[in-house]
Structure 1
């Protein structure tokens, strides 16, 4: 492993490094990592256009399946910018709280789009025009998980107002599937605002491990193709408490 950048910010270490092995695959990879080995993004240096992780591949499929002609997307959480980079002909607006993350995405991961705004994603989204977006994508994490003000009923109401009539909110979360009370609560809260919701889980062997989960909310039924969901499986979630500000 070759460390290219490392900095401690507010008790969290941000690292960029090159490695010849990632999740058992041999190759040449560049990784953006936060505290406790929390990987935020990775690039295959031999094929920079490749989408490395399952969850952005699944989100991309959902976007293409739900609305192939979509034009406008609001993203909360920059990472290395995999999804906006995948759609260079679409209009993306990205909200990122940490300016260092944006600088790293440009310096080390070739992110060249001029569409990132520094600040809190909820505040920035609140100032957008009504019904301005086809998709809103939430992919924001701290070391404690997704910030609570981004999974509350009030936040979901903001997203509904900023989406057009056929728009969709898609969230990448970390949870324990059917055993995670917070995920149940997020899903139940989402159902308070959107007529149709779906939940997807990326299975792992250990049921106690945190796993990538995708939650989707919209006011129309959703079609997708299971074989293109990169291993994510649709799951049913139980009722949970409603999360409010």
Structure 2
């Protein structure tokens, strides 16, 4: 593994690496990584348009299958710009709190679209007109995980107000399939606002393994095809408590 860049910001330590193997796959890869060693985005240098990681492939399938005529999308969390870059003809607004992440995505991952706003995703989303977004994608992480102000009842209420009638919120979380207090609380809180919800996870060897969990909330029944979910399968999450802005999880 070869280090290409290492940057520090007020938010995190950010590195760009190249490697000949990624998650057991041989090839030539470049990836963005935070200080917790979590890969935030990866590129196959031999096939730059191929989407390497499973979770963005699954999210793209949900977007294409649930509301295929979508036009406007708001993403919180840029990474290397995989999802927005996949749809150059759609109208994306990308909120990224860390300007260093944006800089590295342009310098090392060829992200060249002019649709990124640097700032807090919730604050930027608040400025969007109501019922104008077809999807809101949440893919934001700090050292402690998904920022808590992006998981509260008040936040989900705002996302509901910003979405069109066919709109949906899709979240990429990290957690365990069973008995994960935070993931259960996020899903329970989301269900207070959205009539329909689904949760999906990658297979794991142990119930204690931390994996990507995709949670989706929608105004309408969620449409998806299991064989197109890049290995993600549907799971049932447990009951949790309601997260509010005034009562964050500790």
Task: State if a TM-score over 0.5 links the two structures.
Answer: yes
TM-score of the superposition, structure 2-length normalised? 0.96
Cα distance in 2 for residues equivalent to 1:180 and 1:118? 31
Give the drift of 1:11. 7.7
The aligned counterpart of 1:71 is 71
CA distance in 1, matches of 2:181, 2:157: 22
Q: After alignment, is 133-142 or 170-179 more displaced?
A: 170-179
Please give the TM-score of this superposition, normalised by the length of structure 1: 0.98
Q: CA RMSD in A?
A: 1.0
**Matched residue SS, 2:155:** helix
Find the aligned partners of 2:122 and 2:61 in 1 and give their Cα distance. 25
User: Gapped runs of 5+ residues in structure 2?
Assistant: 246-250
Say whether the 8 Å CA contact 2:134–2:164 is kept in structure 1: yes
Residue deviations 1:195-215 (CA, integer Å, cap 9, x gap): 011111111112212100000
Cα distance between partner residues in 2 of 1:42 and 1:98: 18
Tell me, in whole angstroms, the C-alpha distance in 2 between the residues paired with 1:112 and 1:100.
Answer: 15
CA drift of 1:67 comes to: 1.1
Aligned length: 245
Segments ≥4 residues shifted beyond 6 Å: none
The gaps in structure 1 that reach 5 residues or longer are none
SS at match of 1:208: coil
Q: 8 Å contact 2:184–2:237 — kept in the other structure?
A: yes
Q: Measure, in 1, the Cα distance between the counterparts of 2:142 and 2:233.
A: 25
Q: 1: CA distance between counterparts of 2:175 and 2:139?
A: 13
What is aligned with 1:20?
Answer: 20
Name the SS for the 1:179 alignment partner: coil
Paired residue for 2:3? 3
Residue 82 in structure 1 maps to residue 90 in structure 2: no
Counterpart of 1:40?
A: 40
Q: Who is 1:159 aligned against? A: 159
- Cα displacement (A) at 1:8: 2.8
